Amino acid sequence: AQSVTQLGSHVSVSEGALVLLRCNYSSSVPPYLFWYVQYPNQGLQLLLKYTTGATLVKGINGFEAEFKKSETSFHLTKPSAHMSDAAEYFCAVSEGDTGFQKLVFGTGTRLLVSP
Amino acid sequence: DTGVSQDPRHKITKRGQNVTFRCDPISEHNRLYWYRQTLGQGPEFLTYFQNEAQLEKSRLLSDRFSAERPKGSFSTLEIQRTEQGDSAMYLCASSLLPGSGNTIYFGEGSWLTVV
């Protein structure tokens, strides 16, 4: 069975500061990994995904994440936070092309950005 | 491409009533998924379709829940005899068949409040 752990239900940063949201996963097969963002009362928008190949993945809005197999991690970073980044962020794992693409989500991290 | 659309966006119902949600996936997407998200939690998988066939159902999907995708296009999720514990956001998503890590696109969700 797959699982995702997101450390920290809330992360607070100042505008312009580094954003780091942590995600660790468990998977018995090579995983596909995803970060989604959710704004209040909205659905989920894909930020970035790792499938195969380059372990440093760049996404939308200046976010990036690095797949580290040895650490079973897929942390999300952004060099400089913007007020518009305030939202809920979800890390998810799937079984990749060998599976039926069911996403297993973490419990989410709420990013708060202060002026 | 108008994205995944869901209707209604919000529904308030009395306990014991039946409710139905509709999802229109991105055109030509073979797979359609239903997830449920409660406050403070990540989305949880309920069921998915490949074309018109329902291929997997989560144990979360009690016998009060039924999902259909009769012509392999739109889908409905019906909840019979609603209970307060059914209050959640119901998310629909769609994707192409697996291959090269095809992205799962989410709709904006249907909020259900059972009073």
Task: List, as one string, the DSSP characters of B47-76.
Answer: EEEETTEEEEE-TTS-TTEEEE-TTSS-EE
CB of A42 within 8 Å of a chain B CB? The answer is yes
Record: contact B101-A43, CB cut-off 8 A? no
Question: Is A97 at the interface with chain B, CB within 8 A?
Answer: yes
Q: For B70-92, what is the mean pLDDT?
A: 95
Chain B contact set for A32 (CB, 8 A):
101
Compute the distance between CA of residue A69 and CA of residue A22 in angstroms, rounded to an integer: 14
Nearest-by-CA chain B residue for A41: B108
Task: Give the tens place of pLDDT for each residue, B87-100.
Answer: 999 999 998 876 65
| The pLDDT of residue A96 | 58
Mean pLDDT value across residues A86-103: 80
CB-based contacts of A71: which residues, under 8 Å, 6+ apart? A24
The mean of the pLDDT values for chain A is 91
Asked if A64 and A77 touch (Cβ cutoff 8 Å), the reply is yes
Lowest-pLDDT range, A61-70, A77-86, B57-66?
B57-66
| pLDDT surpasses 60 at A100 | no
- All residues of chain A having their beta carbon less than 8 Å from the beta carbon of residue B93 are 44
Q: Over the stretch B9-55, which tens digit does the pLDDT of each residue have?
A: 999 999 999 999 999 999 989 899 999 999 889 999 999 999 999 98
Distance from CA of A8 to the nearest CA of B (A): 13
